[in-house]
Amino acid sequence: MSKRTYLLFITIISALGGLLFGYDTGVINGAQFYLSKYFELSDALKGWVVGSGLLGCFIGAITSGKLSIKIGRKRSLIISAILFTISAYGSGLPSLFPESVTVLVIFRIIGGLGIGIASMNAPMYIAEIAPNSIRGKMVTYYQLAIVIGFFAVFLATYFIGNDLSQSENISFGWRRMFWSELIPSTLFLILLFFVPKSPRWLAIKGKHDEAVEVLIKLQDAESAHQDMQEINSSLQSDKTDSNQVNYFSKSVLSIIFIGSILSILQQFTGINAVLYYGADIFEKALGFGQDDVLKQQILLAFINVVFTLVAMYGVDKFGRKPLIYAGCIGMIIGFLFLGITLQQQSIGVLSLIGILIFIASFSLSMGPVVWVLLSEIFPNKIRSVAMSIAVAAQWAANYLVSQTFPMVTGSEINNNVFWNGSLPYFIFIGFTLFIILFVYRCIPETKGVSLEQLEKKLWNF
């Protein structure tokens, strides 16, 4: 196996954490229409069932930093795979307390813990093994895996749901949708035993010979030793270990703050309002019948995959910031189409086009590029903890959006004669405008620079 093939092999395995991220969060979209009727959920309780998994994501992400430092990126991912498997089985349990929402919520939280751990460790691990020239492309495999996970689960829920009557889907079909996750979660768990440990984590732990061995497997010997010298230089510039870093110093807090705000803004674009509640949007806002809803979701997922591939091949060529600017403009246009057609009560093809433009633009920009930047901008000494905080902030924002979106869409203000159901989309447009300003003022371009050089270039760390 060539070095490039080996790099691709372990990148794809690591990115399966993203596939399960997409699958686990997407399965609730296909299942929630039926389980909402099964449990007779109110709008607020529906938000809790959907958002409960995100609570687990937050806890998993905030604890993943220390976990990653202590046991490493690889073992952390193994733990996440175990949690995914437990959640997939438990969410579809047919006999234990069948009328209780609480049992479902508990297993959704367990799955969320797995997502939180994987969402921090997977992109960071990929960034730490990838050569500088293709690091953006390699990390983008993580986002590609997320959207493939969404696509796969939409297909799975569509075929499961289409094979059953509506009454059967309400009774037990949604349980099968959760169980379908057992296939990718088990595959992820098995394959993780074939990937090496992160060379930068090995270096932090003083295992320099092992770190060099891993680097040599991934690139030529000269580049491997050069990278090792830069890693050692970075670690020696601060003699304290990672447990003694002052995370409350002004310089460290500023780095974490910038990364966390960028991470939060990814969610305030409104992407997960569309992905989690896509079925409701198509049924209520766009007037599609329930028979068409899952087909529309598959279309969204397909667009997501295609434009993530475009981002993958553009992120190292054009840079991170240009993709964000282009994507934000597209997201604004997409939601303007949707918002104005809703406001004017002329929902139809233009409304659908607006959603598709939004999804395509997000997939080109804030979807993959935020994960690339988060995996790059934090210095070695604080990367695990800083990234866990930024990712936890993202999950908190995700929870806020998923919990409040059905409440806002069902509110009297949103449904008055002026807004006609369009208010949430104009709110998202406002946040997207802010993203353009924030990225221009606060986010550096990281294309083609080593992680260690970024420390000196960006932060003088």
**CATH for 3-195+238-459, among 3.40.50.2300, 3.30.70.270, 1.20.1250.20, 1.10.10.10?**
1.20.1250.20
Rg over CA atoms, the chain: 22
Contacts of 149 (CB under 8 A, 6+ apart): 18, 19, 20, 21, 22, 23, 24, 26, 184
Highest mean pLDDT range out of 22-26, 281-285, 319-323, 345-349? 319-323
- The answer on pLDDT for 11 being more than 90 is yes
Q: How far apart are CA 176 and CA 91, in angstroms?
A: 9
| Per-residue pLDDT at 80 | 96
Digit-coded pLDDT (tens) for 174-195: 889 999 999 999 999 999 999 9
Mean pLDDT to the nearest integer, 89-116 = 82
Q: What is the largest CA-CA distance in the chain?
A: 69
Mean predicted lDDT score pLDDT of the chain: 87
| Per-residue pLDDT at 390 | 96
Q: What is the pTM of this model?
A: 0.85
Confidence of residue 212 (pLDDT cuts 50, 70, 90): very high
For 184, the token pair is 């990718």
Lowest-pLDDT choice from 8-22, 62-76, 446-460: 446-460
- The answer on pLDDT for 240 being more than 50 is no
Q: How far apart are CA 425 and CA 332, in angstroms?
A: 9
Exposure string of 121-151, with b = 16+ CB inside 10 Å and e = fewer, is bbbbbbbbbbbbebbbbbbbbbbbbbbbbbb
Parse the chain into domains and list their residue ranges: 3-195+238-459
Digit-coded pLDDT (tens) for 262-318: 999 999 999 988 876 666 666 666 666 655 666 776 777 789 899 999 999 999 999
Q: pLDDT higher for 115 or 95?
A: 115
- The answer on pLDDT for 413 being more than 90 is yes
In eight-state DSSP terms, residue 130 is: S
Digit-coded pLDDT (tens) for 378-398: 888 888 999 999 999 998 998
Query: Taking the C-alpha atoms of 454, 457, 460 and 461 in order, what is their torsion angle to the nearest 10 degrees?
Result: 0
| Per-residue pLDDT at 183 | 94
